[in-house]
Amino acid sequence: MKNEIISNSQAASVSNALEGAVAGLQVVSSSGQPGQDADIVLRGIGSISASNNALIVVDGVPFNGKLSDINPTDIASVNVSKDAVSNSLYGSRAAGGVVMITTKTGRKDKVSINFDGSWGVAQRAYKDYDMATDPGEFYRLTWYGIRNTYWAAGNSIEDSNLAASQDLLGELGNYNAYIIPQGEYLVTPDGKLNPNARLRYDDTFADALFDNAFRQEYNVSASGGNDRTDFYVSMGYLDNDSYVLGSSYERFTARANVNSQLKSWLKVGTNVGYSKATQNGVQENAGTASNPFAVARSWAPIFPVHAYDAEGNMKYYEDGRPMYDAGNGETDGTSKRPTATNQNVIANMREDIRESVYNNLTSRSYIEISFLKNFKFTANYSYDFTNDSETLYYTPTIGDGQSFGGRGTQASINTTTTNFNQILAYSNVFGDYHHLSAKVGHEYYKYEYDYFDGQKTNFFNPSNPELNNGGQMQYINSYKVNHNIEGYFGMADYDYNNKYYISAAFRRDGTSRFLDRWGNFWSVGAAWRISNEAFMDGTDAWLNDLKIRASYGTQGNENILSDEGYAYVYTPYQDQYTVTWNGAELGYSPEFYGNPDLTWEKQKTFDVGVDFRLFDRVYGSFEYFYRRTDDMLFKRPVAFSTAGRPYNWENLGAMKNTGIEFDVNVDIFNQPDLKWTVSLVGSHYKNRILTLPEENRKDGITSGPFNLREGKSRFEYYTYMYAGMDEKGNAMWYMDETNDKGEVIGRTTTTTYAEATRYFIGKSALPDFNGGFSTTFSYKGIDLSIATAFQIGGYAYDYSYLDGMSSSFYVGHNKDMWKTFNPETGTGSLPIWNADNASNSFTQQSDLNLIKASYFSIRNITLGYTLPKNLMQKFGIEKLRIYATADNLALWSKRQGFDPRVAMAGADDEYGGYSPMRVISGGINLTF
């Protein structure tokens, strides 16, 4: 991966900089919260119920912490490994591929000091959905929905028009953002806003929640060394406020990396990093009353932040503070807000506390002993410790905590990871052409997770979240989990004259997750550098390098996922229970149903590729891969009446992914003062379920809008098919017609959604193609880089959009509601808006609501200028560069507000709405 992609990005986590940078790599970012890591997935979905995420390796050792704890300026390189031979060293943990991060070390020839400072603005990157944010349009659109609902009930269009005008404000809790003459309608029976209406207030939550914020970052480092010792030390500070009220991220980092050749036969080194990050977040997955993004979109723009009198003057508390409208009649003339009474997200976000403080310590140490000329013994030890202290406090003055007199939760989460490996390596050259290297090793990995939290209510001081300030204990919890992996491995590589290459590896891993603990995994690989053959001698003028390579290997996956709770997946071989107390006696209830026969998920991977360089300008690679997963870890639903449990965790079935990837780079200019390179990466893959248990082969296993079926993709939609509208604008769906024997003889339509039939519709959530385009240009002291990412094809359910298409009158309305069936004209591209028939609404799950998931994004543009070196040296400065950079500049997708990148499974139902952050900064880089 190109280093400038990391150095130019202003993302707090390097994971967010990888989008579009590596062929076959997908970045799934479900939150724009600064400091939030993204999921990294390589070569698609390889498992159904186990982790598909890539293994993160930092300085040669697996890393369990947050990538945002690593300062990107401390990173020297990021390499992505996808084939079996390359990943064999990391054993079963590398089933999803490996992202290898190497931090910076010192140079032995000189000492240098570097400073980088940047200052900028953070703002919401992309527009929200096209909602009716103007109060006048909202009232008219709501009138339209009420009118159509009355008409659908059998009333005449004239009576429906009048009734909608009469009932409009009553349906909205009598919230009137306008002042109108006594006895007149706000929206007249012809559907128009009263021309005599004058604005009473314009105080929307959407306007109050979002604003531009300040971002600043400073990094200083020193590096150097001599012929025996090198060092690198650094410190960094990031202050990144977000564009949404109450959200921020602050991080301090420090790192020291020292390597020393103590003797000709003895080398030692240590790399220690520390970070402290404070993250103030917002509720992203909660109900609409406390999620600021849901409030901004789905609350009607007529509901004000503050309370107003009849003349539109803001009301105040006795202490002079502006009064909040909590939906309880604070605004004159209103009754109760039709949704979320006693709530005001602005008040909550100013007074509630949602803070996480992360302290992270990482260390990597090694000792390397060379002996007998060709042998080397290395012992590597790593220790990572993270403490996460969380405070969640709901104020007693308003909102979720008021009825409890305040509610506070304190949590402390400690994670400890140790990894110790010992490697004996051999390397030798026989004659002039034979090179052999081999290694054997042992590794022990231990992970410990220690959780403690407690909650109290009835707080004495409304601004103090500490539990000692609370009166009534609600609960106190603690638990610990452990996870161990032990592995033995061997590897060998041989090449002849830098033309023929052979590799082989074997690893035996044992895990504490299963009773059947041990698994054997192996790989082989070969390569042929054709360009070094004698018969290619005449191609030197245009062919610089040509190599074909292939590998095949097996790996395991034991990283089971579960929604029952974090702790349960570490001993899934046994039933697990929760202890209960009814006030008089102890009891227990089942919490997780285990399976003692559960074992490794097994993967077989085949790769074949071509690496090339032409005319000393065009270079890259093309690859084909085949990955098959057997004995998939899966949570299969079963009948409680017969099995005594609602599900079984099992190893079942097989699935495959096949695909192609490419990486092409062109040096258009490559002169000392003029360089211009363009790069394109891309990938395409297909997914198929190969086998399922006998009892599931006919009907498959339904999971949301999908059905696991042999011969079908894991993410091929199995849903209802929209059949248009009837003459009254009612939505219709297809359903099977059957004869007396229950045999399907055809299809018909129905206006009752519950009668509709599910079908495979030939559309998939998986994209047809994804990739990225980037370019770097430099002329004398000027440098410019552009990085983009794109996706072509695939379909998604845009649930966030559908929330704005609700038939409820009092919620925020997407402007597309104007496209619903108009009984007055008999036209409309969408079915009728009928609030009395929501169960048969067109927003129900069907192919009507699938949307193309293609997109194109400009991820980063950076422009810099390096002042002439001879000028700077007069001031004792080796290098001075000034620059401007911008992240998340633009996103084009099928619909305004829709971001296809938030989920792999084609649905944003778990997306809280936190849009990515655009950061535009200017900075200075100094080297002494």
pLDDT, tens digit, 9 for 90 and up, residues 757-813? 999 999 999 999 999 999 999 999 999 999 999 999 999 999 889 999 999 999 999
Q: Which pLDDT score is estimated for 560? A: 84
Q: Which pLDDT score is estimated for 567? A: 77
Q: Rounded to an integer, what distance in angstroms lies between the CA atom of residue 100 and that of residue 98?
A: 6
Up-side HSE of residue 69: CA atoms within 13 Å toward CB? 22
Residue 640: pLDDT above 90?
A: no
Q: Which pLDDT score is estimated for 284? A: 83
Q: Which pLDDT score is estimated for 59? A: 93
pLDDT one-digit tens code per residue, 565-608? 667 889 999 999 999 988 899 999 998 999 999 999 999 999 99
Q: Of all residues in the chain, what percent carry a pLDDT higher than 70?
A: 99
pLDDT one-digit tens code per residue, 43-79? 888 888 888 899 999 998 899 889 999 999 999 999 9
Q: Label the pairing between strands 518-529 and 500-511.
A: antiparallel
Q: Cα separations (Å) of 181 from 105, 134, 167, 178, 195?
A: 75, 21, 17, 10, 10
Evaluate whether 40 touches 150 at the Cβ level (below 8 Å): no
pLDDT band at residue 693 under the 50/70/90 scheme: confident
Strand extents, DSSP E, 765-814: 769-779, 782-792, 795-797
Q: Cα separations (Å) of 479 from 174, 412, 476, 747?
A: 50, 11, 11, 55
Evaluate whether 439 touches 490 at the Cβ level (below 8 Å): yes
Q: Which pLDDT score is estimated for 201? A: 97
pLDDT one-digit tens code per residue, 713-737? 999 999 999 999 999 999 999 999 9
Q: Which pLDDT score is estimated for 49? A: 82
pLDDT band at residue 634 under the 50/70/90 scheme: confident
Residue 211, SS3? coil
Range 202-229 average pLDDT: 95
Q: Rounded to an integer, what distance in angstroms lies between the CA atom of residue 5 and that of residue 116?
A: 17
DSSP state of 105: -
| CA-closest candidate to residue 6, choices 22, 17, 19 | 17
Q: Rounded to an integer, what distance in angstroms lies between the CA atom of residue 164 and that of residue 833?
A: 13
Tokens of 217: 């970052």
Helix axes 135-152, 157-171, angle to 10 degrees: 130
Q: Rounded to an integer, what distance in angstroms lies between the CA atom of residue 217 and that of residue 925?
A: 12
Q: Which pLDDT score is estimated for 565? A: 65
Range 137-156 average pLDDT: 98
| CA-closest candidate to residue 282, choices 350, 342, 212 | 350
Q: Cα separations (Å) of 617 from 30, 223, 531, 664?
A: 38, 33, 16, 10
Q: Rounded to an integer, what distance in angstroms lies between the CA atom of residue 334 and that of residue 563?
A: 42
Q: Rounded to an integer, what distance in angstroms lies between the CA atom of residue 570 and that of residue 449?
A: 11
Q: Label the pairing between strands 98-103 and 55-58.
A: parallel
Please name the residue ranges forming H helices in 268-413.
292-298, 345-351
DSSP state of 388: E
pLDDT band at residue 367 under the 50/70/90 scheme: very high
Q: What is the DSSP string of 115-175?
A: EEEEEEEEEE-S----B--SHHHHHHHHHHHHHHHHHHTT--HHHHHHHHHHHHHHHTTT-
DSSP state of 916: P
The DSSP H or E segment spanning 360 is strand 353-371
Tokens of 799: 């649930």
Residue 872, SS3? helix
Q: Which pLDDT score is estimated for 779? A: 96
Range 819-848 average pLDDT: 95
Q: Which pLDDT score is estimated for 909? A: 64
Range 127-151 average pLDDT: 97
Range 116-127 average pLDDT: 95
pLDDT band at residue 243 under the 50/70/90 scheme: very high
Q: Rounded to an integer, what distance in angstroms lies between the CA atom of residue 838 and that of residue 255?
A: 58
Range 522-540 average pLDDT: 94
Q: Rounded to an integer, what distance in angstroms lies between the CA atom of residue 510 and that of residue 600?
A: 10
Evaluate whether 231 touches 257 at the Cβ level (below 8 Å): yes
Q: Which residue has the higher pLDDT, 362 or 912?
A: 362
pLDDT one-digit tens code per residue, 848-870? 999 999 999 999 999 999 999 99
Q: Label the pairing between strands 229-241 and 248-263.
A: antiparallel
The secondary structure of 222-274, three-state, reads EEEECCCEEEEEEEEEEEEECCECCCEEEEEEEEEEEEEEEECCEEEEEEEEE
